[in-house]
Chains A and B, each alone.
Chain A
Amino acid sequence: MDVVNQMQRQFVDYSTSLHREGILDDQFTQLQKLQDENSPDFVVEVASLFFEDCEKLINNMARALEQQGVDFKQVDASVHQLKGSSSSIGAVQVKNVCIAFRSFCEAQNREGCLRCLQQVTHEYSLLKNKLQTLFRLEQQILAAGGSIPVIE
């Protein structure tokens, strides 16, 4: 079997699995559709900005939750921002944790917030690994002279 075809098949299967597992939603597909020959690295660039955002916001939340007197409004502001970013890239599981997280902020429940922080950190790490794998598969296809299949 042609090596490029095999890689393309692998890419499609992997991409489909990310949607099936509920890690990414249609918003991510919309981003992929925006990418073209004038901006061939658009999705990777958006993802990198998202990862930077996540790390900064998760650090902010952790610091705020460590304080003696937790400023729940401050925690909530960071969660709110993360919710916005994650829904814009299609990171549905990160977004869902943020929704629960906001409820705990509103209830000023520190334990609940700490659990959500752990969960959001986990979901973010999982997503980052999966996306990096996806991007690696793309690079392999391009290096072998193939084109990235369009996933509908």
Chain B
Amino acid sequence: MVLGKASSSSLSMKSDEDVVNNNNNLRVLVVDDSPMIRKLHDMYLKKFGLEVQVAENGKNAVELFRFGASFDLILMDKEMPVMDGAEATKELRAMGVKSMIVGVTSLDSPYEKQVFMEAGLNYCFNKPLIADNISFLLQELNKNNNDKN
């Protein structure tokens, strides 16, 4: 498990087109109560050729899954009204959701990040998410998909 920002030194060099083509069938859910952060992450992800949906809080995210939606990757904020990121992550895992769930947070303390990780995250990054973080996650996602095939 990784805490903090991922290093990009081990990423393979692919052309932009290759990256976008590889990612065309990956669906991402951005869960954050800030319209600004939702817009920012939406843009970053679309640049990588990903299909993006947004949810305003943990409860909305859980309901999407309950109604049959599925996503390859969930970017989960921690501090949200109605249902926070840790609670939503626990619920999704309890429902049997196996998608990659990545915490994106401005939490300062390593202890708080660890508690969030223990809710069922695969990784946890600091805000703001940067292109290197997304490259890393997509590599991991594509690796997982290749292992399954």
Residues of chain A at the chain B interface (Cβ within 8 Å): 27, 30-31, 34, 39, 42, 45-46, 49-50, 52-53, 77, 80-81, 83-85, 87-89, 102
Annotate B31-59 by CB proximity to A: 1 below 8 A, 0 otherwise: 00011110110011001000000000000
Chain B, range 50-101, C-beta contacts under 8 Å to A: 79
State whether A46 touches B34 (Cβ < 8 A). no
Contacts known (A39-B43, A77-B79, A80-B79); A46 close to B106, Cβ less than 8 A: no
Chain A residue nearest to B77 in the complex (CB): A84
State whether B106 touches A50 (Cβ < 8 A). no
Q: Which residues of A contact B40 (CB under 8 A)?
A: 31, 46, 88
Contacts known (A46-B36, A53-B34); A84 close to B43, Cβ less than 8 A: no
Q: What is the total of A-B residue contacts with beta carbons within 8 Å?
A: 45
Q: How large is the interface on B (under 10, 10 to 19, 20 to 34, 35 or more residues)?
A: 10 to 19
Chain B, range 108-149, C-beta contacts under 8 Å to A: 108, 127-128, 130-131
* Docked CA distance A81–B40 (Å): 15
Which secondary structure dominates chain A's binding surface? Answer: helix
State whether B127 touches A87 (Cβ < 8 A). yes
Q: Which residues of A contact B43 (CB under 8 A)?
A: 34, 39, 42
Which of B47, B128, B131 touches A88 (beta carbons < 8 Å)?
A: B128
Q: Which residues of A contact B37 (CB under 8 A)?
A: 84-85, 88
Closest 10 CB pairs of A and B: A84-B106, A49-B36, A88-B128, A84-B127, A34-B43, A49-B35, A50-B36, A53-B36, A88-B127, A85-B36
A–B Cβ pairs within 8 angstroms, 10 of them: A27-B128, A31-B40, A46-B40, A53-B36, A80-B79, A80-B106, A81-B34, A84-B34, A87-B127, A88-B37
